[in-house]
Each structure stands twice: as C-alpha cells, then as structure tokens.
C-alpha cells in the first residue's frame, strides 16, 4: 500500500511565529536622547548611603582574552576571546538634592535644594540659546546662602529629612573633560540608597559641588544595566524593520512588502501588522552587563594585565573610530551595548539579585587588545610598531 503524497510533504507550513516583537511598540523615535531610569534598585537602610546610577559615553569595542572559570563547561580553565565595550566615564558633579513623598498617585517631588555654585556646563542646560542669554540663571537662588546664614536652605533640607521617603541627587557630567565638541552637560537625578533619610540628605549636602567617580558607584565583576537610545536608521521598509519574508522575484510593484495586511473585515489595519516606518533611535534598557574592568584615566598602564605587562593605555592605535582618545576613567563591560559612538549612556545598578554562576564569576583578564580598529591592526603600541617598521621616510622629514 503506497503512502499518500500529502503525508510525505512534511515541509509544508501553514503557521509560523510572527515577525518581530510587539513588546516594543510603538516603534517611534525616542522622546529623550539620554537614557532614563524608570526605576531604581530596592533600598536597604543597612548599607551606607551610595549612588545607584552614573552617566557615561560609549567609546567603542575591542576584545579581551581570559581564562574561563565555569566548572562543567568544555572550555573550563581554557582561554576564551570575548568582545567588550569601552565606555568613558569622567567624574560627575553633584549640584543638588530632591526629596520625594509617597502619595496615592505615586511619588511627588517635595522640594529641591541646589548648590551655591553651578558651572557654566550645567547652566547651558537651562538655556535654549546660551550665546544670546544674560547667563543669570541661579544668581538669585545662590544669594539664599549668604542671607540669614543660609536659613532658607537649611529649612528646605530639614523638610526633606522630615517628610520625604525617597532622596535623589542632581548630578551632571563634565563635558570639558571629553573631546565630543559638546559644551552642554547632561544632567540627571540619581537615587541615593542606603542609610536613613537624614543620612541620605546629609550625604548629599556634603557632596555638593564635589565630584563622584565611576569607581565610587560600581565595582569590578558587578552586573549592571545599560540604558540608552539605539542607533537610528531613519524610515525603513517592512523587510528591514520587521524581518518579514520577501515576496517572489517577479512580484508586481515590488517584493519587499507584506502581501496581505489583513482581512476585508474588520475594515481597518490591525496594530499588529508589520508596516514601514521609523527604525532605530528607540529607548532601550539592556540588563545584566558584567563589568570586566574599571580603569583610571591617569594610569598609563590602564590596559595592562598580570600576563601582559606592556605599558599601554586603553585607546587603540589611531584612537577609537568615530570617537578618539579615552583620557578619563572608563568601564569595560562584556559584549555590546545600545547606541552609536559618543552616545550618552545611563549605567544603573542591577534591579535583580544575581545567583547565576556567570554573574558571580571572578573575571581575571589576561590580555586587552589595543591594536588599530581601523583595518587589520598588527601592533599593540606605537613602540612595538616602530621597532618592527624601523625608521620610515616620514620620520626623517619630521626630524
């Protein structure tokens, strides 16, 4: 007895998963350029007061070599090569504190207290046109510190201590330490966790006009979340935007389309149907990025390891493409992260309690690659390149 041909055709599919996730609707341009912290880690009064987030700038990517410490894996105790992202993080300046009270409709800002002196970098953020402005922002407010021995400032701080349930500091980046061509600082509220409300407010007041480095907020081997805006691709078609299948070659009026966008009735296009439109420049939160290293800007050997003792900095030969030289403190995280080069990123302490072995693993880097990222880099340092190439014609003309 022969088997019907219909049964043999196991490759015929009448159903398949949809193309693209509906979890990220609407796919439109982000309302803000800087990644926003929509929630902060849970507070624990037993810890000393500390910050829970930091602003940094994406420099580029490289790769590292390390020994994997993962019992049970075939690569256990063997060398592995991993891609990493370098994020430059100059020290931030704390310029204010905000107290929040809980209401039935969520949190409400009670009052804000600002520092006496604000730099021009942060003042630029309060103006649309700095060049034409009178640059008088906060001059009246600063006078509160000199009248009645700062009685009004003290009163506001006491109100925060008495009524608030959440305390956040206002901090801004130092653009003058970066070579991005931007002078206007990025500013954000960062929640202070740990200690009592009074201790949080006192900690914030003590740090007015002082800098906080990324090493004060995070530590090596910590898992963090990266919040930012993805690389923009403008308006794209349905095939690139949603990954739908292309139609056959001879299709009339184009083939990078969706053939049927819905039934006759209901007589409208459903929200779930893939359509052309904005692709990229979306606000995204990427959780669980492991910190492999927190480097100091002034350290001339900030890319050296115990196994690679060569004196070298994290900046590759020729600089990071489309970014330049990293002179300030930096963070190396595992894998990629959102955004183009120079994009401002919000690094936040993880909201979760991590129990996975990969999250708790102690990472010991053996080698950090600093060869040129513009082509096939051969040399780790300029010294190594000169030793191999010898004296060149351009060296003679310069001399």
Q: What are 40-64's pLDDT values in tens digits?
A: 999 999 999 999 999 999 999 999 9
Q: What is the pLDDT of residue 7?
A: 53
Q: How far apart are CA 189 and CA 199, in angstroms?
A: 18
Q: Tokens in use for 90?
A: 């100059």
- Whether the ω angle into residue 178 lies within 30 degrees of 0, i.e. cis, is no
Q: What is the pLDDT of residue 399?
A: 62
Q: What parts of the chain have a pLDDT lower than 50?
A: none
Q: Look over the chain and give the mean of its residue pLDDT values, rounded to a whole number.
A: 94
Q: How far apart are CA 116 and CA 139, in angstroms?
A: 9
Question: What does residue 359 show for φ and ψ, rounded to 5 degrees?
Answer: -75, -30
- Closest residue by Cα to residue 228 from 285, 166, 303, 305: 285
Dihedral Cα 23, 28, 29, 34, nearest 10 deg: -20
Q: How far apart are CA 171 and CA 331, in angstroms?
A: 19
Q: What is the pLDDT of residue 149?
A: 86
CA atoms within 13 A on the CB side of 285: 13
Integer CA distances (angstroms), 61 to 3, 337, 346, in order: 57, 10, 18
User: Residue 277: helix, strand or coil by DSSP?
Assistant: strand
- Which of the 8 DSSP states describes residue 241? H
Interval 311-352: pLDDT, tens: 999 999 999 999 999 999 999 999 999 999 999 999 999 999
Is residue 284 a contact partner of residue 228, using CB atoms and an 8 Å limit?
Answer: yes
- Which of the 8 DSSP states describes residue 176? G
- Which of the 8 DSSP states describes residue 324? B
Q: What is the distance between the terminal CA atoms of the chain, rounded to a whole angstrom?
A: 92
Q: What is the pLDDT of residue 14?
A: 85
Question: What does residue 120 show for φ and ψ, rounded to 5 degrees?
Answer: -65, -30
User: Residue 175: helix, strand or coil by DSSP?
Assistant: helix
State the DSSP H helix or E strand holding residue 153, giving kind and residue range, or none if neither.
Answer: helix 151-163
The contacts found for 46-49 with CB under 8 angstroms, 24 or more apart, are 46/194, 47/193, 47/194, 47/195, 48/194, 48/195, 48/199, 49/192, 49/193, 49/194, 49/195, 49/199, 49/200, 49/203
Angle between helices 151-163 and 197-206 (to 10 degrees): 150
Q: What is the pLDDT of residue 396?
A: 86
Q: How far apart are CA 285 and CA 225, in angstroms?
A: 7
Q: What is the pLDDT of residue 1?
A: 53
State the DSSP H helix or E strand holding residue 221, giving kind and residue range, or none if neither.
Answer: none
Q: What is the pLDDT of residue 10?
A: 62
């Amino acid at each position: 007895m022969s088997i019907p041909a219909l049964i043999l055709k196991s490759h015929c599919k009448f159903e398949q998963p949809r193309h693209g996730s509906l979890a990220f609707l609407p796919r439109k341009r982000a309302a803000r350029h800087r990644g926003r912290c929509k929630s902060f880690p849970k507070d624990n009064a037993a810890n000393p007061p500390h910050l829970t987030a930091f602003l940094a700038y994406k420099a580029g990517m490289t790769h590292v070599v390390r020994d994997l410490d993962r019992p049970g894996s075939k690569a256990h105790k063997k060398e592995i090569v991993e891609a990493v992202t370098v994020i430059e993080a100059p020290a931030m300046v704390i310029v204010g504190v905000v107290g929040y009270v809980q209401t039935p409709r969520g949190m409400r800002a009670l009052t804000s207290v600002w520092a006496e002196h604000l730099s021009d970098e942060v003042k630029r953020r309060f103006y649309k046109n700095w060049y034409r402005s009178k640059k008088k922002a906060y001059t009246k407010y600063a006078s509160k510190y000199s009248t009645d021995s700062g009685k009004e400032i003290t009163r506001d701080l006491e109100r925060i201590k008495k009524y608030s349930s959440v305390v956040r500091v206002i901090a801004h980046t130092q653009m003058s330490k970066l070579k991005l061509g931007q002078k206007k600082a990025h500013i954000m509220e960062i929640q202070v966790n740990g200690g009592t409300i009074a201790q949080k407010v006192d900690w914030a007041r003590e740090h007015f006009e002082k800098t906080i480095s990324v090493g004060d907020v995070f530590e090596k081997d910590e898992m963090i979340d990266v919040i930012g805006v993805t690389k923009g691709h403008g308006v794209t078609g349905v095939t690139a935007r949603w990954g739908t299948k292309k139609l056959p070659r001879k299709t009339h009026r184009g083939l990078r389309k969706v053939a049927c966008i819905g039934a006759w009735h209901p007589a409208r296009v459903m929200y779930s149907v893939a359509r052309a439109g904005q692709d990229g420049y979306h606000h995204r939160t990427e959780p669980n990025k492991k910190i492999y290293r927190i480097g100091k800007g002034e350290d001339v050997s900030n890319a050296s390891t115990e196994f690679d003792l060569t004196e070298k900095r994290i900046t590759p030969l020729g600089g990071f493409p489309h970014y330049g030289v990293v002179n300030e403190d930096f963070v190396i995280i595992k894998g990629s992260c959102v955004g183009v080069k120079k994009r401002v990123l919000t690094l936040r302490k993880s909201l979760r309690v991590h129990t996975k072995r990969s999250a708790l693993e102690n990472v010991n880097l053996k080698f950090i690659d600093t060869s040129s990222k513009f082509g096939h880099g051969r040399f780790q340092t300029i010294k190594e390149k000169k030793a191999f190439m010898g004296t060149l014609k351009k060296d003679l003309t310069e001399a």
